[in-house]
C-alpha cells in the first residue's frame, strides 16, 4: 500500500476495534503487565461506550419517561403562543418565552443571538371555481407574490409533472397551471415520498411562468387528506418574474383534474393578499450545560422555533424545540456534568430561509472546529427509532453509523437503537463542511405528513408518551456523545 493508505487503514482498524470491542475492553481485558521503567505508556483504542455511560443513560431514560416537563413546555408554546412565522409577533413572543424558561432552569450562557429574517405576510386569500360555482380551499405558498385586488381569473391546465407541462405548453400561456403530482403513501422501508413530490411546490411556479402561466396551484404534499391544504415555501429567486402560487387539498386537485379530463376547461378566480416586507430582526436562542473535562468541545441539540402561520406548529417544530429544552433541563436536574458542553440551539427561520442556521455558522465560525456532533429534531413527535447519520466524508459517515449503533444500544427500552445513513436536518447544513457529525432525530413518519404545514398541526395531535420517549432519546444520546472517547470523528479526515 502507498504511504497515504497506511494511516487510513490504521484509522479504520482502530474504529472497528473500538466499535465492536469498546465496552469489552473497558470491562474484561486482563491487566497489562507492568511497563518497563522509562517506556511510554501503552494505550488502546478509546471506548465508544463505557459501563458508566450506559448506566447514566438508563438513569436519564427512566427520569425522562417519568417527567411531565416536556408536555408542560409544549402546551405553553402551542396554546399560549401558537404559530410562529418568521417576522411575526408570535415568533418574537416564542423567543422571549424560550429565553425565560431556559434562564429559569439555571442554564449557563442563555442568550439570543441576533439574525435578520424575511417577513412575509399571507393576507386574505380565496379560490373560486367559476362553473360549477363553488369555493375551493387553499393556502398560499410562503414567499409567493399576491394577486391584484380583483384576483386572477383564468382557465386551469392540469399537469402531473414536467413532461406533461411541456406537452401542454401551447395551452399554458395566460392560464393557471395545477401541478397534480401525487405523493405516494408512506412505505414501511422506503419511508415517505415527500422528497420527490415537494419539487413542484418549490419549483413549480417558475416552471409554469416560463411558459407564460399567470398563476400556479399545487396539489398539497401529502398522501392523505381530510380537505386540508398544506403550505410551504416556494422559490422566487431564479427564473422569470414570479407569479402567485398556492396549495390546494387533494380533493380539490382531483376535482379540477376530473373536470379537465372531461373537457370542461375549468376556470377559477385566485385572490391572494400576500406581501413581502423585507428583512426584520429575529434571533436564535442558545443555552448550555457546560462540560467539565472538555468544555470547549460542543454537542448541539436543537429544533427550530419558527413555524408556518397556520395551526400551532406542534409537530413542526414545537416538539423538536421542547425535546431540546427538556433534555437540557433533565440533565441539569439530575446533577450531571458532561465531559463536553451540551448546547441547545433553537433555530429561527428554518421554514422559509435558513437564516438562523447560516447566521449561527457565521457567528460561531471560530469554534466550529470544536463542534463534535449536532442533533436536530424536525420530523414531528412520534415513536422514536434512532438517528439518521451524516458526515461530509462518505467513508466516515459509514463508520459513524456503526459508532451510533453502539452508543444507542442502552436505548432499547424506548426502541431508539437504529442508526442509518440519511439527511440530518436543514439547520445542520452549514455545519457539514466543518466536519461535524450530524444526526437527524429519527422516528416513525407514517402519519407526519398528514399534519405537516397545515392548520391541523395542533397539540392534540401529539402523544405525551411519544414526547417523553423522544426526550429520553435525545437527552441520553446527547450524554453519550458528550462522554465518548470516540469523537471527534473529523480527526480521521485528511486536511
C-alpha separations of 451 from 190, 311, 316, 455 in Å:
20, 9, 9, 8
Q: Which of 350, 351, 376, 492 is catalytic?
A: 350
**Grid cell in block for residue 445:** 413518519
d(CA 171, CA 442): 44
Which residues lie below 8 Å from residue 290, measured CB to CB, with a gap of 6+?
108, 109, 337, 341
Do 127 and 269 form a contact (C-beta atoms < 8 A)? yes
Task: Render the burial of 407-424: b for 16+ CB within 10 Å, e for the rest.
Answer: bbebbeebebbbbeeeeb
Q: Percentage helix, strand, coil, to 5, in the chain?
A: 40, 25, 35
DSSP H helices in 375-427: 394-408
H/E stretch holding 120: strand 108-121
**Grid cell in block for residue 308:** 408556518
Do 407 and 480 form a contact (C-beta atoms < 8 A)? yes
CA 20 to chain centroid, in Å, comes to 31
Q: Which residues pair with 164 in a beta bridge?
A: none
Cis peptide before 270 (omega within 30 of 0): no
Which residues lie below 8 Å from residue 412, measured CB to CB, with a gap of 6+?
none
Catalytic annotation present for 362:
no
Work out whether the CA dihedral 200, 205, 211, 215 comes out positive or negative: positive
**DSSP string across 361-373:** HHHTGGGGGGEEE
**Grid cell in block for residue 51:** 459501563
Which position has the grid cell 437503537?
417
Catalytic residue IDs: 350
Amino acid at each position: 500500500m502507498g504511504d497515504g493508505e497506511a494511516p487510513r487503514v490504521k484509522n479504520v482498524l482502530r474504529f472497528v476495534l473500538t466499535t465492536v470491542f469498546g465496552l469489552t475492553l473497558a470491562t474484561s481485558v486482563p491487566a497489562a503487565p507492568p511497563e518497563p521503567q522509562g517506556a511510554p505508556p501503552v494505550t488502546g483504542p478509546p471506548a465508544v461506550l463505557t459501563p458508566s455511560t450506559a448506566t447514566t443513560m438508563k438513569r436519564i431514560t427512566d427520569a425522562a419517561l417519568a417527567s411531565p416537563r416536556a408536555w408542560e413546555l409544549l402546551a405553553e408554546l402551542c396554546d399560549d403562543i401558537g404559530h410562529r412565522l418568521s417576522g411575526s409577533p408570535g415568533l418574537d413572543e416564542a423567543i422571549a418565552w424560550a429565553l425565560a424558561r431556559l434562564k429559569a432552569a439555571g442554564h449557563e450562557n442563555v442568550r439570543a443571538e441576533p439574525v435578520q429574517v424575511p417577513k412575509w405576510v399571507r393576507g386574505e386569500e380565496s379560490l373560486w371555481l367559476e362553473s360549477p360555482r363553488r369555493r375551493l380551499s387553499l393556502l398560499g405558498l410562503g414567499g409567493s407574490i399576491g394577486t391584484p385586488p380583483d384576483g386572477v381569473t383564468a382557465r386551469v391546465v392540469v399537469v402531473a409533472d414536467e413532461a406533461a407541462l411541456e406537452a401542454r405548453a401551447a395551452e399554458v400561456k395566460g392560464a393557471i397551471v395545477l401541478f397534480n403530482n401525487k405523493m405516494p403513501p408512506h412505505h414501511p422501508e422506503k419511508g415517505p415520498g415527500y422528497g420527490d413530490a415537494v419539487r413542484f411546490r418549490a419549483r413549480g411556479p417558475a416552471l409554469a411562468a416560463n411558459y407564460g402561466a399567470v398563476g400556479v396551484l399545487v396539489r398539497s404534499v401529502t398522501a392523505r387528506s381530510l380537505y386540508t391544504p398544506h403550505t410551504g415555501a416556494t422559490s422566487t429567486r431564479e427564473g422569470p418574474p414570479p407569479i402567485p402560487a398556492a396549495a390546494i387539498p387533494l380533493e380539490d386537485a382531483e376535482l379540477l383534474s376530473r373536470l379537465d379530463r372531461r373537457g370542461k376547461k375549468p376556470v377559477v378566480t385566485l385572490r391572494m393578499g400576500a406581501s413581502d416586507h423585507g428583512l426584520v430582526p429575529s434571533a436564535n436562542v442558545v443555552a448550555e450545560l457546560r462540560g467539565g473535562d472538555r468544555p470547549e468541545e460542543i454537542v448541539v441539540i436543537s429544533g427550530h422555533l419558527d413555524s408556518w402561520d397556520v395551526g400551532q406548529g406542534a409537530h413542526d417544530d414545537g416538539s423538536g424545540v421542547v425535546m431540546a429544552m427538556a433534555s437540557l433541563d433533565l440533565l441539569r436536574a439530575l446533577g450531571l456534568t458532561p465531559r463536553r458542553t451540551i448546547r441547545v440551539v433553537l433555530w429561527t427561520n428554518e421554514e422559509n430561509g435558513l437564516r438562523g442556521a447560516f447566521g449561527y455558522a457565521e457567528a460561531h465560525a471560530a469554534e466550529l472546529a470544536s463542534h463534535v456532533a449536532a442533533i436536530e429534531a424536525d420530523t414531528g413527535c412520534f415513536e422514536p427509532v434512532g438517528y439518521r447519520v451524516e458526515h461530509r466524508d462518505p467513508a466516515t459517515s459509514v463508520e459513524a453509523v456503526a459508532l451510533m449503533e453502539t452508543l444507542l444500544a442502552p436505548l432499547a427500552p424506548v426502541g431508539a437503537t437504529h442508526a442509518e445513513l440519511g439527511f440530518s436536518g436543514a439547520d445542520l447544513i452549514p455545519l457539514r463542511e466543518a466536519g461535524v457529525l450530524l444526526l437527524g432525530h429519527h422516528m416513525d413518519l407514517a402519519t407526519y405528513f398528514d399534519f405537516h404545514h397545515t392548520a391541523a398541526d395542533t397539540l392534540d395531535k401529539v402523544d405525551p408518551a411519544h414526547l417523553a420517549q423522544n426526550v429520553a432519546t435525545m437527552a441520553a444520546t446527547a450524554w453519550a456523545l458528550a462522554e465518548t472517547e470516540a469523537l471527534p470523528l473529523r480527526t480521521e479526515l485528511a486536511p
